[in-house]
Amino acid sequence: MIPQRELFIAGRWVAPKQGKYLDVVSPASEEVIGRIPAANAEDVEAAVDAASAAAKSGHWTKTTGAYRAGFLRKMAQKIRDKKSELAKLETMDCGKPIDEAEWDMDDVAGCFDYYAGLAEKLDERQDSPIDVGMADFEVKVRREPLGVVALITPWNYPLLMATWKVAPALAAGNCCILKPSELASVTCLELAAIAEEVELPAGALSVITGLGAAAGAPLSSNPKVAKVAFTGSAATGRVVATSSVNQLRPATLELGGKSALLVFDDADVEKAVEWAMFGSFWTNGQICSATSRLLLHKSIAPKFLEHLKQRAESINIGEPLEPGCRMGPVVSESQYNRVKSYVEVGVAEGAKLLTGGKRPDSLSRGYFLAPTVFVDVKPSMRIWREEIFGPVLSVMTFETEDEAIALANDCEYGLGGAVISADPDRCKRVSEALECGIVWVNCSQPCFTQAPWGGVKNSGFGRELGEWGLENFLSVKQVTKYVNPGIWEWYGPKPKL
């Protein structure tokens, strides 16, 4: 069972005002393993009011970056201390294989440490001078927190995606309200417990859980919120963007994807197959950046697909808490049914199943789907054009570089893309031609805290991670001082200009 937590508002655990809770269902067993509080608009308003009061008090927003860095480093250490416990809870909650969950916890701790360093550097950058070419004026730039920020996060990387927002937002000095997905909130509530343990000042971080319509919507549309940072579907992203526009507030949106992996005829087939699987089946195929469209050069397709089929069928799929598991269940019954429906659509539209497409014979319960590969796919098919968010890979072939690039770019999304080739010049050309925010060369999916993350087209706008992630949560203020001891004299007989 999972720990029983309430809403975390202004440093206190608070029961939801309507006394309602949501069951936490294990995607591996389909059994109820706990519950989380179900916040509503009243709870959201209480959290926003508390964060607003904290922001105005200045006991977090007016502190130095070095002061804030101390708390971020304490949180990083607590996460390392609790790595095994947190990873287990993550796996129980969302079905992620335990080895992946442990890797995620390392990344969570590293992300807090990284932004602690940037918080300290922020002090050094404060009041940086600008040469405006006039000796009469001294111009400096300040970087200040926005105030209250709403952070709405998904279920595929519950704690890591939350940290991508929480760590830089806290580093910048904002008062944060985190609203994780109702499908995977457990470790985010544990993050609140860690904040309490390190005595993070009250109001710097609140965590509210519940349904999107009941809690997420009133949070993203609250006029006291200075910014919304959202990761999720394009459909919900449009709603969040509309709310932000109506309030004349900025938003960062990291939305869906349908990334392409281009494999050329000079690629090492064995290495490329491994990256094709990792790019599509990692995290049970539930990755916004998944390279779920595979473009193979026609000359290597038969050999590549033979090897891919063999390797996909050898993936260790089963109980995600077992070390060595490489694929667990998808997150929920509704997601399972959604992915299965896409498999049915693919078959109905004329694509051919190379492997998978059903529950593994060895697993009688849980939301498991075998690694699935479609061939004979056409560009008009839904499995090629729409984000499935499950372990489904669609394959097409090409003959020329221009054809491959055109097929890759013919997509409403633009989050990621990848190219595998032994030719460095080709890799450079393709990297520059792909219409996306992230390009991988001779690999797929590596992600680093120090590097920007985000997309174009319907994959959203803005960048997270790296220095860009911090800038997202800062307001830039110009401070201009008149330093000439004499009078300005614009209205005198001899104006200055």
Say which of 175, 188, 288, 427 is annotated catalytic.
Answer: 288
288 is known as an active-site residue: yes
254 is known as an active-site residue: yes
SS3 content of the chain, % helix, strand, coil (to 5): 40, 20, 40
Query: In this structure, what is the dihedral angle of CA atoms 50, 52, 57, 58, given to the nearest 10 degrees?
Result: 120
Strand partners, 230: 152, 253
Which residues touch 364 (CB under 8 Å, ≥6 apart)? none
Of all helices (H) and strands (E), which one includes residue 481? strand 474-482
Which of 260, 359, 262 shows the shortest CA–CA distance to 304? 262
Pairing of strands 7-9, 12-14: antiparallel
DSSP string, 91-148: HHHH---HHHHHHHHHHHHHHHHHHHHHHHHHHHHTTEEE--S-TTEEEEEEEEE-SE
Say which of 100, 120, 254, 387 is annotated catalytic.
Answer: 254
| Rounded Cα gap, residues 107 and 250, in angstroms | 27
CA 350 remoteness from chain centre: 34
List strands edge to edge, sheet with 227-231: 12-14, 7-9, 205-207, 175-179, 148-152, 227-231, 251-254, 460-461
Active site residues: 254, 288
